[in-house]
Amino acid sequence: MTEPRLTSVRMPRIRLRVAERGEGPLVLLLHGWPESWYSWRHQLPWIAGLGYRAVAPDMRGYGGSDAPQAVEAYAMRELCADVVGLIDHYGARDAVLVGHDWGAIVAWSCALLAPERVSAVIALSVPHAGRAALPPTQALRARFGENFYYVLYFQEPGLAEAEFDADPHAILSRLYASPDTPREEPRTRDRKRSAGGWTDRLGAPKELPGWLTPDDLAYYVDEFTRSGFRSGIHYYRNLDRNWHDTPELAGAQLAQPAYFIAGARDVVIGGHDAAWLEKLMRPAVPKLRRIELLPRIGHWVQQESPQPVNLLLREFLAELQP
């Protein structure tokens, strides 16, 4: 793979490192947690080869991008302002947003908050069902009670980042495993939050999954060793703030065409099929054109199954051409 060009984009309130390839209509590739632009290493040259300018930023707080200290600096309106700032920087009227994990959440949200700047959404792993009836952490606490759940663990100031910063390799190697990766037994089996953090609840992989080379893992470990995990966790600490700050999104529908891709074994979709996802998403995403679930694939879909994802992206982008 020819390496993309890494550069810094300076905007009025933030500086983002971006990887870019190609010329043409703008496609922004938004990564999730805990990732970086590198998550799109297989898609950047492919999309560029289709005649687009493919741009994958390190989202604010990640990799080589600026990492403000304040929790509220990672609120959704700030994240969407970054997306709009990138669109402005490249002199585009609008962009196709391709997002995975938290990047999908940002893409869905920007399509609602800045609809004139988003021409379409291609979301990976995280579906959109509209604004929840309750603040997210309130609903999660009612569901999980005293049991451990990582999103609630992330709400506790300082704890998760201290755990992960102490051993980035341990948490990343565990999280990046595929559904069929052989693992050691977890050190912690107690379901209660009081039993400890997250790393010991995930069995260490006995080998790397086929999609992740030692050099790939080393790149991620180096990035998080340098930047730390705090900023990425701040995204989760804004879940309730985002809910309270956007009452106008109650009942809102996306005006743009949208597509959804996930691994069939992605924990985010909980084993549900395309029909269930269609019923979930259609009221909030009336122009949802396709749902594609890739068999035997887990959460890291564009890395675990790059060629099928690339072929789907080619089909979707072709359908969007006037």
CB under 8 Å, gap of 24 or more: what pairs does 305-313 form?
Answer: 305/211, 305/263, 306/42, 306/43, 306/211, 307/42, 309/42, 309/43, 309/124, 309/261, 310/42, 310/43, 310/46, 312/259, 312/261, 313/43, 313/46, 313/47, 313/98, 313/122
105 and 171 belong to one structural domain: no
Tokens 């089909």 belong to which residue? Answer: 315
For the chain, the straight-line distance linking the first and the last C-alpha, in angstroms and rounded, comes to 30
Q: The pTM is what?
A: 0.97
Question: Final residue of a domain: which of 236, 267, 285?
Answer: 236
207 and 256 belong to one structural domain: no
pLDDT of the chain along its 322 residues, tens only? 468 999 999 998 899 999 999 999 999 999 999 999 999 999 999 999 999 999 999 999 999 999 999 999 999 999 999 999 999 999 999 999 999 999 999 999 999 999 999 999 999 999 999 999 999 999 999 999 999 999 999 999 999 999 999 999 999 999 999 999 999 999 999 999 999 999 999 999 999 999 999 999 999 999 999 999 999 999 999 999 999 999 999 999 999 999 999 999 999 999 999 999 999 999 999 999 999 999 999 999 999 999 999 999 999 999 998 7
212 and 101 belong to one structural domain: no
224 and 285 belong to one structural domain: no
160-173 pLDDT, tens per residue?
999 999 999 999 99
18 and 141 belong to one structural domain: no
Question: Final residue of a domain: which of 177, 204, 236?
Answer: 236
156 and 122 belong to one structural domain: no
What pLDDT, on the 0 to 100 scale, is given for residue 321?
87
Number of domains forming the structure of the chain = 2
Instruction: Give the catalytic positions in this structure.
Output: 101, 299
Range of the domain at 103: 5-132+241-320
What pLDDT, on the 0 to 100 scale, is given for residue 322?
77
Q: What is the CATH number of the domain that holds 296?
A: 3.40.50.1820
What pLDDT, on the 0 to 100 scale, is given for residue 2?
63
